[in-house]
Chain A
Amino acid sequence: AQKVTQAQTEISVVEKEDVTLDCVYETRDTTYYLFWYKQPPSGELVFLIRRNSFDEQNEISGRYSWNFQKSTSSFNFTITASQVVDSAVYFCALSNYGQNFVFGPGTRLSVLP
């Protein structure tokens, strides 16, 4: 069975601090996709990144970076120099080809000015 765990329920940081959101997944398949989505207070989820199981390269996009480690089944997300606009709920998700989409429980990030 597929499962996504985000152990951090809520995180509060002060603006300009770096913050890492943890994601651990479980799957028996060798081919799968991992994602991060952001849900701001308005409600709609915003796609941030997709990574397939064969691509363990870390990725950086502006202040965002992702660390994918198959050995530990983790796909962590770091925000550098956080800003108030980063305040949202962040979801890690897993999709196996042809199967359902499984979301983690989410981490609520509050960035205080």
Chain B
Amino acid sequence: KAGVTQTPRYLIKTRGQQVTLSCSPISGHRSVSWYQQTPGQGLQFLFEYFSETQRNKGNFPGRFSGRQFSNSRSEMNVSTLELGDSALYLCASSLASGVNTGELFFGEGSRLTVL
């Protein structure tokens, strides 16, 4: 069974630009959650979507947004990029609402570099 797929794996942007990251969950999984990983702040929860609805949201500014499609694929968008947005963005999928159960299956991440 295919795992969680994130695209692109690597990307470089400049300050002020916006970026869209994509996540395809494991087939049958309805929950997708997003995390930011940086050396300074560690792993931080961004948001979770379940059946196209945002279920939970972490403590990030409104520049970070996401959505989920009817096929459970999810995208997250970061607008007006700042240098501090450089990070590994990880997507995870689960059958039920993952934030509660924690049985998350992670992708390999999208590494964003902001110059």
Which residues of A come within 8 Å of B, CB atoms? 33, 35, 37, 42-47, 50, 91, 93, 95, 97-106
Contact = CB atoms under 8 A, between A and B. Distances in A.
B43 interface: yes
21 contacts: A33-B100, A33-B102, A35-B102, A42-B108, A43-B88, A44-B3, A44-B4, A44-B106, A44-B108, A45-B106, A46-B106, A91-B43, A93-B102, A95-B100, A98-B99, A100-B59, A100-B99, A101-B33, A103-B42, A103-B44, A104-B42
Contacts of B3: 44
B103 A50 contact: yes
Q: Say which size band chain B's interface belongs to.
A: 20 to 34
Contacts of A93: 102
A46 to B, nearest CB: 7
Given A100-B45, A106-B42, A47 B102 contact: yes
Contacts, number: 62
Contact of A100 (B42, B56, B92, B103): B56
B105 interface: yes
Contacts of B43: 91, 103, 106
